[in-house]
Amino acid sequence: MSDSLPLGACIGILGGGQLGRMLSVAASRLGLRCHIYDPAPNPPAGHVAERVTTAAWDDAEALRGFAASVDVITYEFENIPTATLDLLDSLRPVRPGRKALAVSQDRMTEKDFLSGLGLTTAPYRDVPDAAALRVGLDEIGTPAILKTRRLGYDGKGQARIMDPSQAEAAFAGMAGQEAILEGFVEFTHEISVIAARGVTGEVACYDPGENVHVEGILRTTTLPATLTPSQQMDAVLLAGRILNALEYVGVMGVELFVTAKGLVVNEIAPRVHNSGHWTQAGCAVDQFEQHIRAVAGWPLGNGARHVDVVMENLIGADMDRVPALARAADVQLHLYGKGEARPGRKMGHVNRIVRG
Ligand code: ATP
Ligand code: MG
């Protein structure tokens, strides 16, 4: 393949959190090098990468230097400013490409894209002002969720509206940011599909995992998920359609609600995903290696799962459990090298292998 990176090539990663860290480890196992770009000093990924640039997203000189030092650019989070991408994109291939980023950076664009593909989403309305929220609530009903269109993560920037009387307070909570109103989906459980597409268009999907969130943050992912064979196939097929429509290169996380009427797409993440960490213990090629293979133009791993796994995030004070977890059998421990175990901060995770 003419498009594949040779051994020793360098992958630039925008963002140096735990996802960038695990991508960098995967790249080094394949004989590739990584250069991390992050505005914050001492990013977790920097501990395991060949180079780190600490500079702002609008530092054109630093961005040019970064691009000149790498062969391809990828990212661990989707909220990279457009001007940053414009510059980088003109200098080196950015994978996954602009289309995927544009769609996933804005919940409104994302919902329009997904429903345009004929997929089911929650009912939604654009909320540019308080009047639009009143109309939206009339049409969609309650309960509903008001979310910022951009920059939300771990359930941040969201307000539940149980009754129209709460509309005003919810709107004020958006603090002037553009918002979207979503009808509340009555789901039985939540799943996600981690899927990959290579430069030649080949697609590989991992088995769907079942996700439990606590206080808006992912707590556990369990494999296998509770799904009928048809639901499992539906999940994988719809992920493939999304990847094709975006001419995607890399790993994507597709979050789904399971309802009595079928699968509803919640959101897509154009990157490796927390709910895919189980692949480190469950598959020969995990999501991080898969992403590196894709962006480097290498062949993909097949995604087959060889064992049942429960992934549990270690959040904040969960770090106190590390000594016991280190002694436990069948537990694969991953720690991110972050300093302070603040409440709500993802510090690590464990993959517990379940023997049947
Ligand atoms: P993350 O970073 O964890 O993906 P996020 O901030 O992007 O989160 P969402 O995925 O939109 O936010 O929502 C977080 C969680 O809130 C969902 O996993 C789900 O449990 C619940 N939720 C969000 N939207 C809806 C909805 N329309 N109906 C029912 N529940 C919802
Ligand atoms: Mg989500």
pLDDT tens per residue across span 166-177: 988 988 998 889
Instruction: Work out which ligand 1 atom sits closest to the CA atom of 217.
Output: 3
Q: Assign 2 a pLDDT band (cuts: 50, 70, 90).
A: low
* Residue 142 buriedness (CB in 10 A; 0-12 / 13-18 / 19+): middle
The percent of residues above 90 in pLDDT, for the chain, comes to 91
Instruction: Work out which ligand 1 atom sits closest to the CA atom of 211.
Output: 18
Order of strands across the sheet that contains 179-183: 124-127, 179-183, 144-148, 158-161
Residue 273 neighbours by CB under 8 Å, 6+ apart: 192, 194, 251, 252, 253, 287
Q: How far is the CA of 153 from the centre of ligand 2 (A)?
A: 7
Q: Whose CA is nearest to atom 12 of ligand 1?
A: 155
> Which residue's entry shows tokens 């459990």?
321
Residue 261 pLDDT > 70: yes
What's the pLDDT tens digit per position in 22-74? Answer: 999 999 999 999 999 999 999 999 999 999 999 999 999 999 999 999 999 99
Q: How far is the CA of 193 from the centre of ligand 1 (A)?
A: 15
pTM above 0.85, yes or no: yes
What's the pLDDT tens digit per position in 186-203? Answer: 999 999 999 999 999 999
Average pLDDT over residues 1-5: 72
Name the residue among 79, 56, 60 with its Cα closest to residue 177. Answer: 79
Pocket around ligand 1 at a 6 A CB cut-off: 122, 145, 152-156, 182, 184-185, 190, 213, 216, 218, 255, 266-267
Cβ neighbours of 125 (radius 10 Å): 20
What's the pLDDT tens digit per position in 310-344? Answer: 999 999 999 999 999 999 999 999 999 999 999 99
Residue 72 CA: distances (Å) to CA of 122, 245, 296: 36, 22, 7
Q: What are 64's two structure tokens?
A: 């040019």
Instruction: Work out which ligand 1 atom sits closest to the CA atom of 269.
Output: 4
Q: What are 84's two structure tokens?
A: 């940053």
Residue 8 pLDDT > 80: yes
Average pLDDT over residues 294-310: 97
Q: Quick one: residue 39, left, alpha or beta (phi over 0 = left, psi -120 to 50 = alpha)? A: alpha
| Pairing outcome for strands 308-315 and 51-54 | unpaired
Instruction: Work out which ligand 1 atom sits closest to the CA atom of 255.
Output: 10
Q: Whose CA is nearest to atom 8 of ligand 1?
A: 154
Tell me which long-range contacts 159-168 makes (C-beta under 8 A, separation of at least 24): 160/184, 161/137, 164/134, 164/137, 167/130, 167/133, 167/134, 167/137, 168/130
Segments of 82-216 assigned E as strands: 124-127, 144-148, 158-161, 179-183, 189-197, 203-205, 209-214
Residue 154 pLDDT > 80: no
Q: Which amino acid is at 299?
A: P
Distance in angstroms (rounded) separating the CA atoms of residues 135 and 67: 47
Phi, psi of 38 (to 5 degrees): -150, 135
Distance in angstroms (rounded) separating the CA atoms of residues 37 and 15: 6
Under DSSP, is residue 257 helix (H, G, I), strand (E, B) or coil?
strand
Residue 86 pLDDT > 70: yes
pLDDT the model gives residue 266? 96
Report all structural domains of the chain as residue ranges with CATH numbers, in order of start: 10-94 (3.40.50.20), 123-183 (3.30.1490.20), 189-354 (3.30.470.20)
Please indicate whether residue 158 or residue 348 has the higher confidence score (pLDDT).
348
Distance in angstroms (rounded) separating the CA atoms of residues 42 and 312: 25
pLDDT the model gives residue 1? 46
Task: From 210, 256, 258, 266, give the residue whose CB has the most ligand 1 atoms within 8 Å, as the site to mutate.
Answer: 266
Q: Whose CA is nearest to atom 1 of ligand 1?
A: 154
